[in-house]
């Protein structure tokens, strides 16, 4: 192990006017330009970055070849490369610190940067494990990566230990820059002085003490421009990004601002909590819109986060309309991950008046439903029950921190996969705002929904007619007893869950936990692992004369099927003649809180592919090759589309009959309907228009291509649609957040 000890006795501190930068001046402000032999003052933060090239020979230094102009030269031009464990030691004062690590993926010394995997520890905290910089920059669509951590140092030294995650000969790791900046004791560590609500677990409280480390995931100036480290308050050099990439839907609301408004801070809110410009800008619904229109909409943001961690969410508020001066003029509800964080929040009741900055802290658990990243949702919705003067909601700033696990002291998570990066590539499509006829779309949706309902009812009637009528026991209709063991127990799928555990998870089927009722029975919200894992428990109604056959079929089918657009079956219980299925809890209808005008477009895309390929939407796997996993037509078509194997999608019987131009428009519409996010899918009107174009192209042999094809096909493929969530439908008994 190589130990690299750097003792900074002379700290590089910049002098700023206390009135402009808050009342806090950090005791440490250490910045290292790793791999550099010189000290340089940067424009974007005004600090003198000290080079470390001459301090050791136990590792290598390198320059990034061909660094783009958009990437800051300091600290990303140079890097320190190491092939074994390597430690930086800093002399510091006890207390909480920002630790910022900077990475730029490049072919240093001719090495393949995709082979570099890095682990970092700080004392007994694991900050990073097996980090791949290129996988993360690809996922977030950024050129370079900055990881910010918050840790409490109890002694007089801080040790940061870097190591390659592999022992292979070619393994290496790198770092471009390091910052260590102190912060006020009570900025984020509140401990016993200020316990925080654990959202979804009322009245449970959560304490963030010195034995917790944090990773800053998001820090946003909502409705405003980026605030660079040079202009952060309190000389802590935080970066406040814009919130546009994280807004869900096309209706982004409005961005009111008042840059001349004098800003003060509420009692208990220090002036270094956030820059004044964060409180001078905001995003809100249309405050003075007539009637109750705002009640039909949410303001929604989504943030990709790691599964299996708790998160501190800090929301900043400041009323910038001077005419809003009294309580109950603007009141709204706050939802985190479809759970009520605050049912009735009135900013003026906390701040006391306009121009006064406040913040609210919440802790929310993101269960480990899978190892992949999940979206943490933030929704604001006007509270109609308070009967406020204005039905509005607004937000000025957001900070989201991942909290370390209390037992393992761990903040690390898996790298995003390349597939995750591809799926995320369309996020910014939600920025576009397109005006379409909502009335026409609504009519089409109602007609389509009615048709689907009729088909479902017909299927149920046919199933009812064909069911055996000489069977006495409702449970025996799907199960034959063999040596007192139900036949269903022989099905090779997920866990059999004891009835006692299910009763404990649902409070003995507490009626207050019912989230839905269907033809099969009631659906309860339950929790396992002390509330860390939420499930949906579907309990069959023993008085019903239907459901047993469907129960067995659902077990057999879903036990083999795993797909990101389907709720996962976790287990079952058939004790005491019960018919219970346990699913992963997804209160948002698939992914996005609710059914919207775009919910049926995905299904339409599958139907278009069925017509083109003569394949079923879901088919049995290749039995000859011992692969009985169901095959998803949509996934198969996407793979062929991405690989350019378009001929594999077409039914061979019609392959020679389709005009090329017609095929391109038709397939383009189908693939756009299969977009992951509803905001990326075309409107129903766009689909109809382009299918009519495809029909004309087929009839005329493609002769209309020059005049119309390019314009119309682009119109569909670019997601040109009504991105406003629009009219919503719900069959929840007690919807909480949408």
Q: Where are the domains of the chain?
A: 2-182, 191-415, 467-584, 599-717
Nearest Cα residue to 502 out of 527, 532, 530, 529: 527
Q: Which of 25-34, 535-544, 696-705 has the lowest mean pLDDT?
A: 696-705
The span from the CA of 493 to the CA of 87, in Å, is 47
Asked whether this chain's domains 2-182 and 191-415 adopt the same fold, the reply is yes
pTM of the model: 0.59
- What mean pLDDT comes out for the span 699-706? 59
259 three-state secondary structure: coil
- pLDDT for 642: 81
**H or E element, residue 205:** strand 205-206
Q: Is the pLDDT of residue 545 over 60?
A: no
CATH 3.60.70.12 fits 2-182, yes or no: no
Q: Is 598 labelled a binding residue?
A: no
DSSP 198: B
Render pLDDT for 199-245 as a digit per residue (tens, 0 to 9). Answer: 988 888 999 999 999 999 999 999 999 999 999 988 899 999 999 99
Residues 6+ apart with CB under 8 A from 496: 489, 571, 572, 573
Other CB atoms within 10 Å distance of the CB of residue 36: 25
Q: Is the pLDDT of residue 361 over 80?
A: yes
pLDDT above 90 coverage of the chain, percent: 40
Q: Which two tokens stand for residue 339?
A: 């759970």
- pLDDT for 14: 33
Q: Which residue has the higher pLDDT, 296 or 187?
A: 187
* Burial of residue 482 (number of CB atoms within 10 Å: 0-12, 13-18, 19+): exposed
- The answer to whether 445 touches 727, Cβ cutoff 8 Å, is yes
- pLDDT for 448: 61
Render pLDDT for 42-64 as a digit per residue (tens, 0 to 9). Answer: 888 889 999 987 766 678 999 99
- pLDDT for 594: 45
- The answer to whether 235 touches 24, Cβ cutoff 8 Å, is yes
- pLDDT for 359: 98
Task: State phi, psi for 437 to the nearest 5 degrees.
Answer: -80, 105
Q: Is the pLDDT of residue 705 over 60?
A: no
- pLDDT for 59: 84
- Domain 191-415: what homologous superfamily? Galactose-binding lectin (2.60.120.430)
Q: Looking at the domain that runs over 599-717, which CATH code has it been given?
A: 1.10.510.10
Q: Which two tokens stand for residue 343?
A: 């049912």
- The answer to whether 208 touches 188, Cβ cutoff 8 Å, is yes
Q: Which residue has the higher pLDDT, 19 or 197?
A: 197
Q: Is the pLDDT of residue 280 over 90?
A: yes
Cα 236 to chain centroid, rounded: 27
**H or E element, residue 604:** helix 599-613
- The answer to whether 139 touches 424, Cβ cutoff 8 Å, is yes
Q: Is the pLDDT of residue 442 over 80?
A: no
- Domain 467-584: what homologous superfamily? Phosphorylase Kinase; domain 1 (3.30.200.20)
DSSP string covering 667-722, please? HHHHHHHT-SSGGGSPPHHHHHHHHHHHHHHHHHTTTTIIIIIHHHHHHHHTT-S-
């Amino acid at each position: 192990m190589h130990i690299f000890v750097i003792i900074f006795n002379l700290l590089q501190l910049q002098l700023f006017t206390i009135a402009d930068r808050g009342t806090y001046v950090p005791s440490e402000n250490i910045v290292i330009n790793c791999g550099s032999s010189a000290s340089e003052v940067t424009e974007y933060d005004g600090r003198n970055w000290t080079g470390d090239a001459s301090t050791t020979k136990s590792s290598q230094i390198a320059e990034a070849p061909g660094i783009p102009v958009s990437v800051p030269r300091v600290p990303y031009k140079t890097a320190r490369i190491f092939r074994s464990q390597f430690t930086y030691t800093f002399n510091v004062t006890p207390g909480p610190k920002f630790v910022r690590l900077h990475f730029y993926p490049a072919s240093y010394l001719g090495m393949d940067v995709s082979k570099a995997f890095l682990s970092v520890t700080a004392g007994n905290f694991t900050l990073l494990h097996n980090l791949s910089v290129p996988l993360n920059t690809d996922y977030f669509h950024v050129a370079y990566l900055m990881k910010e951590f918050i840790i409490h140092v109890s002694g007089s030294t801080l040790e940061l230990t870097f190591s390659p995650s592999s022992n292979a000969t070619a393994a290496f790791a790198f770092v471009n820059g390091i910052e260590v900046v102190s912060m006020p004791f009570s900025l984020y560590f509140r401990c016993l002085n200020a316990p925080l609500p654990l959202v979804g677990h009322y009245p449970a409280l959560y304490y963030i003490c010195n034995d917790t480390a944090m990773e800053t995931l998001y820090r946003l100036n909502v409705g405003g421009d980026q605030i660079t480290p040079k202009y952060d308050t309190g000389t802590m050099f935080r970066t406040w990004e814009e919130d546009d990439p994280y807004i869900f839907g096309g209706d982004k609301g409005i961005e009111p601002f008042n840059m001349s408004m004098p800003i003060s801070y509420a009692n208990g809110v220090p002036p270094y909590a956030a820059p004044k410009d964060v409180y001078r800008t905001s995003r809100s619904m249309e405050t003075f819109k007539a009637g109750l229109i705002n009640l039909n909409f949410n303001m929604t943001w989504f943030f990709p986060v790691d599964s299996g961690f708790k998160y501190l969410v800090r929301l900043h508020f400041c009323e910038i309309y001077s005419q809003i001066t009294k309580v109950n003029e603007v009141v709204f509800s706050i939802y985190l991950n479809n759970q009520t964080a605050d049912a009735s929040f009135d900013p003026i009741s906390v701040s006391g008046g306009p121009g006064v900055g406040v913040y609210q802290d919440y802790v929310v658990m993101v269960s480990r439903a899978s190892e992949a990243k999940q979206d943490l949702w933030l929704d604001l919705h006007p509270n109609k029950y308070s009967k406020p003067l204005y039905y509005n909601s607004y937000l000025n700033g957001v900070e989201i921190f991942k909290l370390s696990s209390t037992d393992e002291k761990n903040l690390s998570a898996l790298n995003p996969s390349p597939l995750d990066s591809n799926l995320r590539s369309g996020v910014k499509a939600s920025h576009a705002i397109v005006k379409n006829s909502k009335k026409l779309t609504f009519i089409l949706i109602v007609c389509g929904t009615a048709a689907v309902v009729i088909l479902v009812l017909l299927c149920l009637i046919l199933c009812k007619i064909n069911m055996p009528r000489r069977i006495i026991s409702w449970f025996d209709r799907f199960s034959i007893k063999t040596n007192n063991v139900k036949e269903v127990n022989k099905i090779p799928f997920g866990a059999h869950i004891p009835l006692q555990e299910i009763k404990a998870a649902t409070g003995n089927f507490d009626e207050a936990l019912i989230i839905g009722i269907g033809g099969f029975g009631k659906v309860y919200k339950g929790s396992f692992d002390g509330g860390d894992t939420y499930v949906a428990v579907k309990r069959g109604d023993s008085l019903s004369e239907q459901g047993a056959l469907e129960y067995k079929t659902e077990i057999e089918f879903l036990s083999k099927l795993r797909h990101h657009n389907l709720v996962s079956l976790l287990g079952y219980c058939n004790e005491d003649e019960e018919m219970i299925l346990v699913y992963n809890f997804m209160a948002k209808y698939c992914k996005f809180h609710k059914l919207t005008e775009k919910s049926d477009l995905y299904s339409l895309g599958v139907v278009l592919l069925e017509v083109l390929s003569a394949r079923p939407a879901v088919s049995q796997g290749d039995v000859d090759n011992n692969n009985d996993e169901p095959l998803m037509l949509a996934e198969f078509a996407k793979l062929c589309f991405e690989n350019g194997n378009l001929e594999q999608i077409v039914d061979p019987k019609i392959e020679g009959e389709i005009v090329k131009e017609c095929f391109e428009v038709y397939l383009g519409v189908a693939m756009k309907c299969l977009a992951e996010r509803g905001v990326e899918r075309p409107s129903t009107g766009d689909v109809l228009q382009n299918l009519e174009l495809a029909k004309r192209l087929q009839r005329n042999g493609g002769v209309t291509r020059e005049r119309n094809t390019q314009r119309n096909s682009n119109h569909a493929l670019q997601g040109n649609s009504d991105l406003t969530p629009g009219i919503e439908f719900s069959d929840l008994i007690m919807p909480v957040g949408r």
